[in-house]
Amino acid sequence: MKVVLINPYEIGRQPFGLAEPAAWLRRAGCEVHCLDLTLQRLEPEVLRDAHVVAIYVAMHTATRIAVEAIPRIQTLAPRAHLCVYGLYAPMNEKRLRELGVHTVLGGEVEPALVSLVERLRAGDGQVQTEPVVNLSKIEFLTPDRHALPPLARYAHLQLPDGGRKTVGFVEGSRGCKHLCRHCPVVPVYHGIFRVIPVDVAMADLRQQVAAGAQHISFGDPDFLNGPTHALKLVQALHAEFPDITYDATIKVQHLIDHAELLPVLTATGCLFITAAVESVDDRVLELLAKNHTNEDFARAVALCRASGIALAPTFVAFTPWTTLGGYIELLKRLLELDLVESVPPIQLAIRLLIPQGSLLLALPGFQADIGEFDPKLLGFPWKNPDTRVDRLQRSVQELVAQAEARGLSRREIFARIWGLAHVELGVDAPVLADTGMGAPIPRLSEPWYCCAEPTDQQLQSF
């Protein structure tokens, strides 16, 4: 049986979400082809005689692209059973089925994908019998990456001295123990996380080093959900490949609670940590259930710096509760903590996404303040009570897109955002000094974010 796995978008990563199912499906006797629309186009000769086409949606942007691509896929593979799987599939099940998707899968999807092909082999028809979400523990196999584009074509690590490294992408766990109200992991995993055995993760890491990886980016939603497991993994990495560096995503709360582990991360090659700070407004942080405060953010920065690790904070800068004054406080906080060079400018334009199943919908009175679900947006639209805030968000987003296309530096873009925010507030912007910008840090060539509008180039990939 011929199965085509498609990845619309995953922030420049060579997708584990294709490589792991590929290993399962090949073991089940399937002929597996992989298409990554980040780097490839929909290929008619690959799709034409496919029995199953399975689209992986790990992010909101990927789902938006998938929705646009599905009619084209149906034209190229009219007899294929269409499946959409991944984190964003269950929360968009209704829309996907309206588009003609036969099977929708989330959570630990690999057994269900094998069940699907076995069901089709037996002639049991198109009706889904597999659970939409499976959270049972599964066996993990060494991901099969041989049908994916080479690592050198994906996002790379940019070093402050101008050097660059080829990046491999490894996952050590799935799901998350925490229940942040805005997080897309929560509606699927509900506080559960699953560990990928160290020997499997190391086998995956090994094959990527053999393929040229010089730096590893761990794709876990939170690397310290299982701190003992994480330490075993990085210690095994460093013992076998002492020159390989890495980065990981870790909650502010975990950076503080496990501060004693930071020197171990440094010693094993950690260059930087991404932390979803989201806001410097304690009220907004409480509404998002982030379990940290503005002061905790500053403490996490200090702890990382003391250990020699750079912190790369991410934000949801615009929410229904954002004020113009609050936005300027965010900019000031980045200056106070010398973090301007550590923050991709797109992070200062991110607007809160409210998908189906979001825990934000359970906030008292919240649903009365938002619009009806928008199937094009794949979320619930909202407006800030202050129209100036929404206007500023649009201006910042446009500015960032144009400035990055022109090659402006992070500090140059920040200065322009600083000016825009003060103009919107109707006050003169204080003159910015070079101090407070911070030094450049190691960074991936494609910034971390998951709710951007698909670009024309991405939509043309099919």
User: Where do we find the tokens 């004054």?
Assistant: 325
Q: Express each pLDDT in 149-171 by its tens digit.
A: 999 999 999 999 999 999 999 99
Nearest Cα to 266, choosing from 236, 246, 239, 237? 246
Burial of 453 (0-12, 13-18, 19+ CB in 10 A): middle
Could you count the other beta carbons within 10 Å of the beta carbon of residue 142?
Answer: 16
- Compute the average pLDDT of residues 191-202: 97
Q: Express each pLDDT in 37-89 by its tens digit.
A: 999 999 999 999 999 999 999 999 999 999 999 999 999 999 999 999 999 99
Given its phi and psi angles, is residue 29 left (phi above 0), alpha (psi -120 to 50 degrees) or beta? left
Cα separation, 377 vs 353, in Å, equals 9
Q: pLDDT confidence of 225, banded at 50, 70, 90?
A: very high
Q: Express each pLDDT in 327-349 by its tens digit.
A: 999 999 999 999 999 999 999 99
Q: Express each pLDDT in 273-329 by its tens digit.
A: 999 999 999 999 999 999 999 999 999 999 999 999 999 999 999 999 999 999 999
User: Where do we find the tokens 């912190």?
Assistant: 311
Give residue 90's pLDDT.
97
Higher-confidence residue of 220 and 126: namely 220
Give residue 461's pLDDT.
56
Residue 272 has pLDDT above 90, yes or no: yes
Cβ(301)–Cβ(272) below 8 Å: no
**CA distances to 134, 319, 325, 345, 386 from 397, in Å:** 37, 14, 18, 9, 18
Cα separation, 149 vs 154, in Å, equals 8
At residue 366, what are phi and psi to the nearest 5 degrees? -65, -40
Q: pLDDT confidence of 117, banded at 50, 70, 90?
A: very high
Cα separation, 327 vs 395, in Å, equals 13
Instruction: List all residues 6 or more positions away from 197 whose beta carbon is below 8 Å from its beta carbon.
Output: 140
Q: Express each pLDDT in 86-104 by its tens digit.
A: 999 999 999 999 999 999 9
Residue 458 has pLDDT above 80, yes or no: no
Share of the chain above pLDDT 90, in %: 94
Give residue 126's pLDDT.
76
Domains, the chain, ordered by start = 2-134 (3.40.50.280), 156-386+438-445 (3.80.30.20)
Q: Express each pLDDT in 357-403 by its tens digit.
A: 999 999 999 999 999 999 999 999 999 999 999 999 999 999 999 99
What is the DSSP pairing of strand 443-444 with strand 156-158?
Answer: antiparallel
Give residue 460's pLDDT.
59
Q: Express each pLDDT in 400-456 by its tens digit.
A: 999 988 999 999 999 999 999 999 999 999 999 877 799 999 999 987 655 556 665
